[in-house]
Structure 1
Amino acid sequence: MTAFLDGLNLVMSADVLVTMVVSALFGLFVGMIPGLSATMAVALLVPVAFTLSPVAALATIITCSGMAMFAGDIPAAFLRIPGTPASAAYTSDMNELVKAGRLGEALGLSVMSSAIGGIMGTIVLMFGAPFLADFAMNFSSYEYFWLALLGLSCATLVAGDDALKGWIALMIGLFLSVVGLDFVTGIQRYTFGNMNLQGGIGFISVMIGAFALAEIFRKAASFDNEKLDTKIKITGNPYPSAAVLWRERKHIGRGGVIGTLVGALPGAGADIAAWVTYAISKRFAREPKLFSKGSTEGVAGAASANNAALSGSYVPTLVFGIPGDSITAIVVGVLILKGIQPGPLVFVNSADMVNAIYIIFLLANIILIPLGIASIYLGRFVISVRDAILYPLILLLCIYGAYAVSNNIFELWVVLAIGILVWIMQENDYPAAPLILGLVLGQVVEQNFMSSIIKANGNYINFFNRPISGTLGVITLIVWTYPLAAAFMKWRSAPSDKETEESSSSN
């Protein structure tokens, strides 16, 4: 109780409350713009968060991401264009409902479902994370090595349809993570004589380049100087009725649970949580034929899962220091920059800050309701901002953000290089998320591996001697070998060309 009151005292300070309101408005604005993700909104705010206190910095990221996640539903409803990837699952339903004049059953229901799902995820975070932290107190470098390696494996498994491209993106991120001085020997690696690279690749610069500048390049390839033509008038009451909320209570609750569980998986994220929940909601729906044609059941479940996944992703982040998604990868970087090492000890050494995070999540989801409803009216004006005004403004924020962190021009070159690289990758359907997770987790894997191998005196069997370490090691090896084994079995079971020809000729 003392830690909770200390956390409440931290959150109720003027700087934290002001930053929450400002970051909420910024998150709503960015989320409304088609194509701009919640991760990009957070990445643009990282340089600002760097100048704030640890609690204010976390409040900025948490509030901004939650608001941007909901705001992506606004262009989905008005233009049939998802504002964020997580909104893509139920874009058709939102648009059909708005066209039918059922605004409250589209965006109004989305606001309430997002807030309820976020609160459900926060409750799980509050009671589940400390329990896992007590369990993780027994972890050594062996367990952290396998856990980080498992996180890298899961990140590639959920990266997209093409697993090979996910692996390639991951390898690029891992290469970037080893640039600089060797963890053990202090030898320079891949610095090419440039002193700016001795400290490694700047995390914030990579984030800005990957999620902001790459998007500018992508948009420039199809530049349109005209305004978006909404042609949809806001009709109907934006407030969902109590009857609608009660009718969809099972889908909202199910979405909150699934979203939290999926969000807790390293590398999964809100977009996967939304698609999984949407599919399950259709399976148990009263009217499955309405899905993609204006289903309130699909909207309620998937919208709830979105924000629940944001809360769930903080479970592995706080307990193990393993990012749950690209947003919490930024959180890990910010915490480390602030001198706070995520992991089980954070619940002991910084209990007040952990409780402050719980309170921030609750407040952010509560203020989402009035601000989200207000943004429904403003949404059609925001999504009409001309590209010629919006994207140069974002470019200025990128330049300011990268330079402000270290006052080093070299960081701008890093932003440019990463922006071009990620843009080329995305144009060829290579996902960016594994690259970021590789950069963050690569250092965790290397440091814990070197620490473990030194303690084990070169004996690799010691990686499996401890019960938890051995279990995590076996699970990781299964995850790594299963795709190869499945491909081999498929090849063995497939009929040969000769057998196919003989079968055809006999027929």
Structure 2
Amino acid sequence: MDPISQAFDLVLQWQVVGAVVAAAIFGLLVGAIPGLTATMATALLVPFAFFMDPVPAVGMMVTCAAMAIFAGDIPGTLLRIPGTPASAAYAGEGYAMTLRGQAELALGANLLYSALGGLFGTAVLIFAAPTLAEIALNFSSVEYFWMALLGLTCAVFIGASSPLKGLISLFIGLFVATIGLNNPAGVPRFTFGSSDLLAGIDFIPAMIGLFAVSTVLSTVAAGAPAWEVAQKGMGNIFRSWGTLLRTYWRQQLRGNVLGTTIGALPGAGADIAAWVAYAISRRFSRQPEKYGTGHVEGIVEATSANNAAVSSAWIPAFVFGIPGDTITAIVIGVLYVKGLNPGPTLFLFNPQTIYAVFLIFILANLVMIPLGWLVIKLTKRLLQAPRRILMPLILAFCMVGAYASNNSVYGIVVMLVFGVLGFFMEENDIPIAPCILGIVLGPLLEDRFISAMIRGDGSLLFFFERPIAAGLGVVVLSIWAFSLIGWLRRRRKLAQAPAG
């Protein structure tokens, strides 16, 4: 019997299908709760995986991760509280559409392009895994430095409506990233004698505070108005699918390709893919002025990217045993326990197992549509509850998520501090997205920069010696140069404009 037929036999068993469906429901529930990330959901399944055969064990984690990434879009769209970090890039866009009575369109786009993005990434995983993994292996600390800097640059100069305010937000995030011992010398920085701060600021409580708690504070400050505007348009999410596919097929394809490429890079993951895709979508859109006011185009491209990245992150994991993100790192450990050492030999000695996992990828993204629709129908009932009742419940869920991030009350304190910070940032029209990205990429940027400087004996030319690094460096510096030139031209026009 050939490996593909054996793979179908392995997948089409009641225990495998049952594990996939159960993991799908679990992933949807966890992803929809702010603070409970896809990584956390996958980690919680590890004890169960030890008592299962390899195919249902890995399939269960694959399905859970894909569902949790999508489910994070639901609270981000309805309440501007992203369920997962990957959803944070376009949570404001979806929430603005909800306030305009277009929640049905935003949620429909989230579901459609999550499934299509996952299927695209799976297709690339099946047919082009070895080639893309070899490209990813060529990345050294220099390339990762430029990748991190590219993500930050896109967030400020392409993704933010005001570059100056975007820079302020970014520097706040980068400052937060310097707190603790996350530096080569191991010297405490900005800890003020606190032992909790030695480990740095945990990203999960900070994200919950900036997005969720700030929203709660803003709602309370506004007197907890009713959801009357948001309830309009909460109908059939499938109604707009035909129009979306015809109108935004270019954005979908661009997001799929970008997400697949970034996801294949070890350590990059869906979070960076979503941020970069949203920024590029805004930069090349024919209607960039609509971004931030509730424009579905940005949601289409970013959603397509982050779900494609979830699938392509398995390329280096399966082919070379190098985790593409934290989720694949967890699953690699399970594979070793099951005696399936990831790497080229896995394709030689256990091809039927690999093909079975590929089939589960396809099944998971197809199951996402009916189950995702069901969860959206249930979640929409949130808007029927008065805000004065809903906001305390949201705050309670946020506290659970912040506490669960490190099993400490310290996480709740961090959440509240960043909630106040996010409230004042929004009151002054300072975007939150660059701050979040600065917290995420700050440690990576510093670590890779110092590693590259050590390897290059302090020479800045070392950052341009490798072809891929030179290409990324030119792109980043070009964005900075064009942005600076545009700013100087605007200042010159203002200076030459007649007074009055």
TM-score normalized by the length of structure 2: 0.68
Give yes or no for contact 1:117–1:304 (8 Å, CA) kept in 2: no
Match of residue 418 from structure 1: 418
Alpha-carbon spacing, 1:5–1:195, altered in 2? closer, same or farther (3 Å)? farther
Secondary structure, counterpart of 1:438 in structure 2: helix
Match of residue 27 from structure 2: 23
Match of residue 136 from structure 1: 136
**184-193 or 63-72, which moves further after superposition?**
63-72
Give yes or no for contact 1:46–1:204 (8 Å, CA) kept in 2: no
Deviations 1:459-498 (A, max 9, x none): 2222222222222222222222221122224445x3855x
Distance 2:231 2:187 in 1: 61
Distance 2:483 2:137 in 1: 32
Alpha-carbon spacing, 1:418–1:364, altered in 2? closer, same or farther (3 Å)? farther
Deviation at 1:73, TM superposition (A): 7.7
Match of residue 260 from structure 1: 256
Alpha-carbon spacing, 1:202–1:379, altered in 2? closer, same or farther (3 Å)? closer
**471-480 or 83-92, which moves further after superposition?**
83-92
Distance 2:233 2:445 in 1: 52
Match of residue 484 from structure 2: 484
Alpha-carbon spacing, 1:338–1:414, altered in 2? closer, same or farther (3 Å)? farther
Match of residue 66 from structure 1: 70
2:139 corresponds to 1:148: no
Alpha-carbon spacing, 1:185–1:430, altered in 2? closer, same or farther (3 Å)? same
* Rg larger in structure: 1
Deviation at 1:313, TM superposition (A): 4.5
Q: How does 1:362-441 map to 2 (within 5 A)?
A: 362-374=362-374, 378=378, 381-441=381-441
Count of aligned positions: 439
Match of residue 309 from structure 1: 305
Deviation at 1:385, TM superposition (A): 2.1
Q: How does 1:281-300 map to 2 (within 5 A)?
A: none
Amino acid aligned to 1:175: F
Deviation at 1:44, TM superposition (A): 6.3
Query: Structure 1: any 5+ residue segments left out of the alignment?
Result: 31-39, 77-82, 99-104, 281-297, 322-330, 341-345
Match of residue 177 from structure 2: 177
Give the CA RMSD over aligned residues.
Answer: 5.0
**225-234 or 359-368, which moves further after superposition?**
225-234
Alpha-carbon spacing, 1:400–1:175, altered in 2? closer, same or farther (3 Å)? same
Distance 2:230 2:477 in 1: 51
Deviation at 1:152, TM superposition (A): 1.6
Alpha-carbon spacing, 1:157–1:126, altered in 2? closer, same or farther (3 Å)? farther
**172-181 or 128-137, which moves further after superposition?**
128-137
Match of residue 217 from structure 1: 217
Deviation at 1:315, TM superposition (A): 8.0
Deviation at 1:190, TM superposition (A): 1.0
Give yes or no for contact 1:180–1:200 (8 Å, CA) kept in 2: yes
Deviation at 1:457, TM superposition (A): 1.9
Distance 2:277 2:355 in 1: 23
Q: How does 1:152-171 map to 2 (within 5 A)?
A: 152-171=152-171
Distance 2:79 2:416 in 1: 29
Alpha-carbon spacing, 1:239–1:268, altered in 2? closer, same or farther (3 Å)? closer
Give yes or no for contact 1:115–1:368 (8 Å, CA) kept in 2: yes
Match of residue 80 from structure 1: none
Distance 1:229 1:491 in 2: 40
Secondary structure, counterpart of 1:461 in structure 2: helix
Give yes or no for contact 2:191–2:197 (8 Å, CA) kept in 1: yes
Deviation at 1:443, TM superposition (A): 1.0
Deviation at 1:391, TM superposition (A): 2.3
Alpha-carbon spacing, 1:195–1:256, altered in 2? closer, same or farther (3 Å)? same
Amino acid aligned to 1:260: N
2:200 corresponds to 1:200: yes
Give yes or no for contact 1:205–1:414 (8 Å, CA) kept in 2: yes
Distance 2:78 2:391 in 1: 19
Distance 1:52 1:412 in 2: 25
Secondary structure, counterpart of 2:161 in structure 1: coil
Distance 2:453 2:41 in 1: 39
Alpha-carbon spacing, 1:339–1:419, altered in 2? closer, same or farther (3 Å)? farther
Distance 2:151 2:368 in 1: 31
Deviations 1:182-226 (A, max 9, x none): 522221111111111111112222222223222222222234376
Give yes or no for contact 2:159–2:278 (8 Å, CA) kept in 1: no
Alpha-carbon spacing, 1:153–1:495, altered in 2? closer, same or farther (3 Å)? closer
Alpha-carbon spacing, 1:362–1:385, altered in 2? closer, same or farther (3 Å)? farther
Amino acid aligned to 2:253: V
Secondary structure, counterpart of 1:161 in structure 2: coil
Amino acid aligned to 1:64: A
Deviations 1:392-426 (A, max 9, x none): 22222222222233332222211111111122212
Deviation at 1:121, TM superposition (A): 4.9
Deviation at 1:48, TM superposition (A): 5.3
Amino acid aligned to 1:149: L
Q: How does 1:74-113 map to 2 (within 5 A)?
A: 85-87=92-94
Query: Structure 2: any 5+ residue segments left out of the alignment?
Result: 50-57, 81-89, 263-271, 288-294, 318-323, 334-341
Match of residue 320 from structure 2: none
Give yes or no for contact 2:119–2:365 (8 Å, CA) kept in 1: yes
